[in-house]
Structure 1
Amino acid sequence: MLNLLEQHPELAASITCNPVVYDFLQNSLTDGLWYWNLLQPAEGWVNAAFWQTLGYAPDQVPADPAAWRACIDPTDLAAAWQRAEACAQDSSQEFDLVLRCTHHEGSSAWLRCRGVVLRGNGSSTPWLMGALFDVTKEKYKEASAQEVATHYSSILSNQSVYIVKTDPQGNYTYVNDFFYERFGCERDIIGTSSLLSIVEEDRPKCLEVVIQCFQAPEVPHQVILRKPYRDGSVKSNHWEFKGILGEGGKLTEILCVGYDVTLLLENLQRAQHLLDVTSQQNIRLQNFAYIISHNIRSHSANLTSLVQLLSEAKGKEQKTMFMQMLATSTEQLADTIVNLNDIVTINNNVSKPKASRALKAEIDKTLDALSVLIRQHHITVEVAVPPALTVTVVPAYLDSILLNLISNAVKYRALDRPAFIRLQAQATPEGVVLTVADNGLGIDTVRYRAKLFGMYKTFHDNEDARGVGLFITKNQVEAMQGTISVDSEVGVGSTFTIQFHENP
């Protein structure tokens, strides 16, 4: 400062004679001082604080007195000169500008310059006395804030996502143009309840997410909600709700960002439908294999027995009887094979293979197919099923179920007493209930309860037992949304109960 006063005695005179200049210097805690000749702009002076603010060490300060000019942006320097000239013409104007400067490291720095225009005693040369303040941090913060504001503004005006704000009560306080356009809302939607624009069935989900926003604010909560579009369609939208806290830590608004996921959900539903169809088809193919390996064997055994009896028959009358029985058995086998086609038919409606069947007629057909075995073993069969009673089933499955249960009753009959098989059925509010009871060997249900309907599980020592019959039966009953259970006691017999649900 002393160096400045020695070089510019007019400034010393101004400080001595002009209290404004003295107060300016006295009250300015500066990051630099600047003294500039407005008539000869190349002439000027800056103090050591100026260079220090711009990152120069004492031994790095340029020797050229005019070196300070290179540190200030030329455009800003010209603006400063014009402003100072205006202040020289009109003392009522203030000099207050922000100058862009180049830091010693090459980065940008900003210095705010507040100054006064001075003239020494008897001198007409105007000089600018400027106090410099480092506002670099403030400028960077301002730029960052502007960037955030620009980014936020771009989000709000986004034409691919919906931006909605509501107050804590759920009333609209802001919606972006994209929301207005897609949903066909009027501008007077502001202040109305956002809940009313949601499909009624989805409103409980929306309220649940709003409660989560209160319980865990500043954390995104996701939900899919349906809204009616301006074209009358209903679209599904994925929303992210976030409770925004204001002063005092209280929730002041809820920010909602959403986008259309209707096509995505439709594709997922199609994929799930295809998966369901494929799963059902796999079940049918699996049952096809089971029936081929197990049920056809029963028909084959019956035919083999008939052929043997036919070869041993004595007399025309006996041969005629066995030929009729053989014809009936082959017809039953043909029906079974035809019904198998339903299992492997590919269609989009997994319930389509079901059809209505008279239960007693189906039982009689199965008994006819097994008539040789039943007669051979002198088994009494009782059927208490109303002729008009129908069930809605997959025909091949019903054929397989009846064949399995009745043939098992024949196969596992007790040899120490006359055998009987009793079939009963009745309609109930839940559907048709069929029971197949016998007085055969019985099963230890306490011991085998968990394995009873398992695959390859056998409970007796019969040579032809394969352990797949009950597994097939349970699988097929459940494939038709039915249920099967068993009550059995060793040495007493078994009763199988099947519930057919009427859902064609």
Structure 2
Amino acid sequence: MIKVPQTSSTSFIIKQLPTPTAFVDTNYNVIHASDKWMQLFKKHTTTHKKSSLFELFPNLSPKWKNVLENCFKGNPQPLGIHQAEDDKNNELWYEWSNSPWYDNNEEIIGAIIQITDITDSINSELELNKKDLLLKQQSEITKIGRWEYDVNNNILTWCNITKAIHEVPPHFTPNIENAIYYYKEGHSRNAISMALFEAQEKGKAWSNLKLQIVTANGKEKWVMAGGKPIYHNGELVGLIGTFQDIQDQVDADNKTLNNEKLLRTLIDNLPVNVYIKDTESRKILVNKAECDFLGVDNPEEILGKSDFDLYPAESAARSREEDLMVMNTLKPIISKETLNIKLDGKETSFLSSKIPLLNNKGIAYGIVGISLDITALKEKETELRNIINIASIQNKKLLNFAHIVSHNLRSHSANFSMLLDFLNDEEDEDEKKRIIKMLSDSSNNLLETLDNLNDVISINTNTNIEKKSINLYKKVLDVHQYLTGYLLNNKAEIKNTIPKTFKVKSVPSYLDSILNNFITNAVKYKDPKRNSKIVLSASKEDGYSVLTIADNGLGIDLEKHGKKLFGMYKTFHEHKDARGIGLYITKNQIDAMNGKIEVSSEVGKGTEFKIFFNDKN
């Protein structure tokens, strides 16, 4: 242990010194030490045979001996900094100083050593160095440089990163004038000049100024500039700031923007409706076709709205159910035919697809919807189907007509041939006259047949029929007057209950023929037990003007004859004037006008025909 005399007053004073202090003789032995020293170096000052300073502190630099030798000669020098550990093994740093130790005769008998704890300062310096290193690394990674401007001395300093951004050599010395000159002429140069002026005159800082510079190599580059004034005792002494190369970011942003514009242009010009919905089925993107379909000019009128805001509740609920199914199952709906009904009641047919939008965890955060308007195609399909149906019906009629023509003309031809053979072989004049009369009757029948066939051909080949609006009540009156003699002779009564202003769209000649046929048929096939009574009425039904003609005649067994009721030369009663052509021609006339006929009948009670005139042209 250090041998410190405890009897003298000097020793007592040394012990009370406020700083760790030791007195060493010229042999480097510790003679006196303050209590602060003893506490500080407790681990080193416990019982020990040796008391030499260098034996107590073996890590001291050997150069310190030379320093102490000079101190013994009256020429003290700094001992420097020494690292040590306290009794808890904590790392400590001390700055050692020395001065000559004189006796009463002013002779140097050793050295007085004092130490100052600078651990906090060293740690702060190390931390600062570490931060400087990290800042430098971060600057290199983020391309953020620093600059400082000494206002009083008019000195501008750039770090290496700032110089690299400007593409100047490391030895380049900037000044405030050429620094401003590097900014591109126009907005960028004006903006940085104004920022510097306001910083110096108004103490106003600036940040995130996105500007362009022209480097020393003539390259245009986007940078982010920031800076603020520095004051000392209320006086402006300088400016400091950052300088970041953001060209890569600007290029990436421009590329993203161009890609977005390209994608938007593509989406807006697609001939299909495109939209994106979030998890609540709110639209977050729509293209021009979707806007046009919903009747808006600005997408903002749709964005944020759900189907419940845009469609009737039933349609919206059905769409929401589909959205949830796609997002929950992650299975898309592809080309499903749907019927969209807007709030104004307009119906549109679509081929719709819904595809889930997935995040990086495979969870749906919305859907992409694509809809193709097929309304026109559906209408064309319906029109084509109608044409095919009409062509099929016409083909059947043509085939039937060909059979009829073939059969009837063959019958007439065979009859003529047979009668001519009889006439050729007959010698009796009276019999010849009878045969000639039969030939004349057959000729008349042939002419009637040809007329009937001509009527049928005329109806089925006339593609330019023109329908007109005709007062049905007045037309019935005209036909009634025309048939007055026929009706009186057959004791038939017509009751016209049609409203006086009721109109139908029909070909005038067809309407005359239809009324004549149905009225004369009602009289022709009357029940012999009672006088004929015919009732005419009219009404409007689903786009049709309906004429009803009811009689109290013989009636028709529809179960037996219903399928061939309107066939050519089909008769259902043994009547001498029955030809089976009237209903066939009438049915063809009504079909040609896109109408229809319904019939109900009961044998012995009468028949009711309902003729439907299409109100459309």
For normalisation by structure 2, the TM-score amounts to 0.39
Highest RCO, 1 vs 2 (Cα 8 Å, sep ≥ 6): 1
Mark the structure with the bigger radius of gyration.
Answer: 2
Per the normalisation by structure 1, the TM-score is: 0.45
